[in-house]
Amino acid sequence: MINLKVKPFYLKDEDIKWVEDTLGDMGIEEKVGQLFCPIGTTDDKEELKALLSKIKPGGIMYRPCDGVVMQETHKFLQENSNIPLLIAANLEAGGNGICTNGTYYGKQMQVAATDNEVMAYKLGLVCGREGGAVGCNWAFSPIIDIDMNFRNPITNVRTYGSDPYRVLKMAKEYMRGINESGLAVAIKHFPGDGVDERDHHLLTSINSLSTEKWDDTFGMVYKNMIEAGAQTVMVGHIMLPEYTKKLIPGIRHEDIMPATLSKELLGTLLREKLGFNGLIVTDATPMIGFASAEKREVAVPKAIAAGCDMFLFNKNIGEDFAFMMDGIKKGILTLERLDEAVTRILALKASLKLHEQKAKGTLVPDKEALLQLKCEEHEKWAKECADKSVTLVKDTQKLLPISPEKYKRIRLYVLEENGGGFKEGASVTANLIEGLENAGFEVYLFDNKKLDFREVFTGSVNELKEKYDLMLYVANIETASNQTTVRINWAQPMAANAPWFVKEIPTMFISTANPYHLFDVPMVKTYINAYSSNEYVVQAIIDKITGKSEFKGKNPVDPFCNLWNAKL
């Protein structure tokens, strides 16, 4: 039985009446439509009208686009939907999670490196204000995964680090900021990513912790976030086998399901033990971790039957809708469970006052709200976060600070992979060169695509010494979905851009994306982590390596990757 008057809905009698009346007026097909939160693929009004007429979805989520386009699209959707929509976005690092012209405040691990909860609160405010400016009301954030495994290719800088207590304190403050801005959160990815070294976009991954260890880490974080009022939980395509075996003694290994299809993890663990009363949404269902776990015609209704209330994205929404309807006919999904899921969807909407905003025509604000995108205050906060987060991991050769008098000629190696995986970061090359040249250095960019084969095969040590005073590496290899590793792939032939010369010429390595590159360059004696690739971070890096500003960041993870020689 759902109690709509308590956490996290806190509905009043008139709100409950709207939920009950709305549910009572809906046929089965309309209820099934509410279960779906498809990805937005167009701003074409006729296509959107067709979606709203045929499926009548409960929500929608777009990838980032220009703020004006996003606001107009969201406004059209809300004006043409009888029941207000939940409009979601991955507001993890700033307003750039929904607007290409929004503020890129900083990745969660950058915020964690400040060791200052105020920075997390301000991230929440930026995300909430800028997301709200274009009509978003649901944030698929904060990420409360714990980055226990440095090899994991997707958690990494998207998390608040490896310390569960730091993850909790940062996530709570982020949630406070975004809730104050009027948006609901979705804490993710239950039962917890970051233990496996694989990506559940590509397979069903595993959280292999014992029940006791899980309770002390992920369970502790989830329980406290739920008690603090988290409105929704996003469930990953991640198995938690030790808990499943505890809750279902004797279960066969082949019958263990990812959390999105697991009654015992959603019902017994999340609902009963952790006391979660809010809405449960699946992670994206085209992900292979979901798609390969069960036949789709079974998996679609089974996800709701298992305890998820909303179904995120589709392979084909018409087919998935038919699968859901067939699942009801076949008894996979009961009408009672359907009503329960839709009740929670409507209750979340009521808790956000979407029904009242719909009546007033204020679901999406006026164009004036777009002035909040990358506004002066938000940029000021982003600069502050950058200043407090850049972390000097080691300088055992006593290289810093550098100056044009001592290291005039810099050869710059930029290791950058920006394609695919819905990466949201920026290129760092132009900002780096401009900043270093403004500081008085001469910068010579190494071109990985135009290799000097004479240098690679026959060049001498003395030639390099005569040409350059400092070798500077900047790695901007982003963590993102659908990739198996986040490692350095050196240019071929002969790893032509690798730092073989660390004993010959002073060498420094800076990472603006992945804090674990010492795994591949333990020989480098000066190493800095900066976690994000925005312009504020690049300027903070230059200020710090030139001595204009001190390093203030604290390691949110072990950047040495458990390697003793990486500390030398």
What local confidence, expressed as pLDDT, does residue 443 receive?
Answer: 98
Q: Do domains 40-183 and 186-351 have the same CATH topology?
A: yes
Confidence grade of residue 417 (pLDDT, cut at 50, 70, 90): low
Percent of the chain topping pLDDT 70: 98
Superfamily of domain 186-351: Glycoside hydrolase, family 3, N-terminal domain (3.20.20.300)
Give the HSE-up count for residue 544: Cα atoms under 13 Å, Cβ half-sphere: 25
Confidence of residue 345 (pLDDT cuts 50, 70, 90): very high
Which token pair is 472?
Answer: 């500077």
C-alpha to C-alpha distance for 64 and 48, rounded to whole angstroms: 18
CB atoms within 10 A of CB 407: 21
* pLDDT of res. 29: 98
Please report how the helices 317-329 and 296-306 are oriented relative to each other, as an axis angle in degrees rounded to 10. Answer: 70
When pLDDT is cut at 50, 70 and 90, the band that residue 426 belongs to is confident
Is 283 assigned a catalytic role? yes
pLDDT band of residue 519 (cuts 50, 70, 90) is very high
Please write the tens of the pLDDT for every residue from 303-336: 999 999 999 999 999 999 999 999 999 999 999 9
Q: Residue 422: which pLDDT band, with cuts at 50, 70 and 90?
A: low
> Which has the closest alpha carbon to 59: 434, 386, 352?
352
Q: Which of 191-195, 296-300, 423-427 has the lowest mean pLDDT?
A: 423-427
Structural tokens at position 136 = 């978003």
**Mean pLDDT, range 387-409, rounded to an integer:** 98
**Predicted local distance difference test score (pLDDT) of residue 171:** 98
Assign 423 a pLDDT band (cuts: 50, 70, 90).
Answer: low
How large is the average pLDDT for residues 212-229? 98
Give per-residue pLDDT as tens, 474-491: 999 998 889 899 999 999
User: What is the pLDDT, as a whole number, of residue 421?
Assistant: 54
Task: Report domain extents, the chain.
Answer: 40-183, 186-351, 390-567
CB neighbour list of residue 432: distance below 8 Å, 6 or more residues apart:
412, 414, 443, 474, 538, 542
**C-beta atoms surrounding 365 within 10 Å:** 17
- Residue 516, amino acid: Y
The pair of structure tokens assigned to 378 is 């938000």
Contact 90, 141 (CB under 8 A): yes
The helix-helix angle for 13-24 and 335-351 (nearest 10°) equals 140
Q: Is the pLDDT of residue 418 over 70?
A: no
pLDDT recorded at residue 424: 66
Supply 521's token pair.
């360059």
Instruction: Specify the pLDDT at position 240.
Output: 98
Q: What's the mean pLDDT when you consider all of the chain?
A: 97
Band of pLDDT at residue 54, cut at 50, 70 and 90 = very high
Mean pLDDT, range 27-49, rounded to an integer: 97
Q: What percent of the chain has pLDDT over 90?
A: 96
Which among 115, 193, 283, 320 is annotated as catalytic? 283
Instruction: Write the CATH number of the domain with boundaries 390-567.
Output: 3.40.50.1700
User: Within 13 Å, how many C-alpha atoms sit on residue 426's CB side?
Assistant: 22
Q: Do 562 and 530 contact (CB within 8 A), yes or no?
A: no
* SS3 at position 524: coil
pLDDT value of position 127: 98
Annotation: CATH topology of 40-183: TIM Barrel (3.20.20)
pLDDT score recorded for residue 1: 73
